[in-house]
Amino acid sequence: MADQHATNRSVTARALAVLETFDMKHRRQSLAAIARRSNLPLTTVHRLVHELEKNDALARGSDGDYEIGSKMWRIGLLASVHADLREVALPYMEDVYELSNDAVQIAVVDGLRCLVVERIAGSRTMSVMSKPGSRLPLHATGVGKVLMAFGPPELQDAVLNSLDRYTDTTITDATKLRSQLLTIKAHGFAKTNEELAAGATSIAVPLWGKGGKGGKVIAALGIVAPSDDVRDISRMLPVLQVTASALSKKLAESGY
């Protein structure tokens, strides 16, 4: 199984595969590294990478390594998550941060993961895990569980089908999680306790698009706090709910 790569992939798909070998941990890569990570023959990558470089999609550092070019950046800014969601949500997130002083984040569903669209936090806060652009597991984060709970059944089934473990409190039992999702949907918020990383709790609520609570959940808003904090993270629930309600309206206005 596992995508026998190479053949049977269009040029476009291969080119994208090349671009996808880049991530936060691999911002600069040698030609050979790209070839390895993309499962493509070296010569093929060589050709593709040159083509991409010629078109400013990749840039080449002085040491010969490749990196994502500025054209990719410019194009990426036009994505809806950025231009529509992030742009509108940021001021609201700042309001929440003022009150909580814990990391505030907003996320959407992306495939079977949860894509962090924006995150604000004090300089010292928590893991590097959830930078904007990170893709976290749906079942082990507050925002993720909200997105699952309010998402389509197909999504739930697919995710429930393979629940990776990250800590010893990660919920990996499908039945248990499924019932938790029902509770979340009923109560309108989700909590996690050290399910992704030790020492971190989180709480999250849904953001609704056009049609308000009758419509669809388009994103989730949540905060992450150290689990040894004497203040209970639940105290922030009302703030999150009020903010989510205001933000939802705003998002609906701007066409979401």
Partner DNA sequence: AGGTGCATTCCGAATACCGGAAGGCTAATA
Partner DNA sequence: TATTAGCCTTCCGGTATTCGGAATGCACCT
Residues of span 140-159 touching DNA by CB under 7 A: none
Residue 69 binds which one of DNA, a second copy, none, with CB within 5 to 8 A depending on kind?
a second copy
Select the binding partner of residue 175 from DNA, a second copy, none (C-beta < 5 to 8 A, by kind): none
SS (H, E, C) 8-73: CCCHHHHHHHHHHCCECCECEECHHHHHHHHCCCHHHHHHHHHHHHHCCCEEECCCCCEEECHHHH
State the minimum distance, in angstroms, from the CB of residue 149 to a second copy: 21
CA distances from 199 to 34, 160, 168, 224 (A): 35, 24, 12, 10
Where along the sequence are the contacts to a second copy (CB under 8 A)? 10-13, 15-16, 19-20, 22-24, 27, 48, 51-52, 54-57, 59, 67-83, 108, 110-111, 115, 132-133, 135
Q: With respect to a second copy, which residue has the nearer C-beta, 56 or 98?
A: 56
Q: Give the distance, in angstroms, between the CA of residue 245 and the centroid of all CA atoms in the same chain.
A: 21
- The answer to whether 62 contacts DNA (rule: CB under 7 A) is no
DSSP secondary structure letters along 186-218: HHT-EEEESSSSTTEEEEEEEEE-TTGGGS-EE
Residue 41 interacts, among a second copy, DNA, none and using kind-specific CB cut-offs from 5 to 8 Å, with DNA
Strand partners, 23: 26
- Which listed option, DNA, a second copy, none, makes contact with residue 179 (CB within 5 to 8 Å by class)? none
Q: Which of a second copy, DNA, none lies near 173, with the C-beta cut-off 5 to 8 A by kind?
A: none
Residue 23 Cβ, how far from a second copy at the closest point, in Å?
Answer: 7
Residue 94 Cβ, how far from a second copy at the closest point, in Å?
13
- Residue 26 is a binding residue for DNA (CB under 7 A): no
Q: Pick from 28, 31, 72, 209: which binds DNA (CB under 7 A)?
A: 31
Reported for 177-181, long-range contacts at CB under 8 A and 24+ positions apart, including other chains, are 177/139, 180/145, 181/145, 181/148, 181/149, 181/156
Q: For the chain, give percent helix, strand, coil, nearest 5.
A: 45, 20, 35
47 binds DNA (CB under 7 A): yes
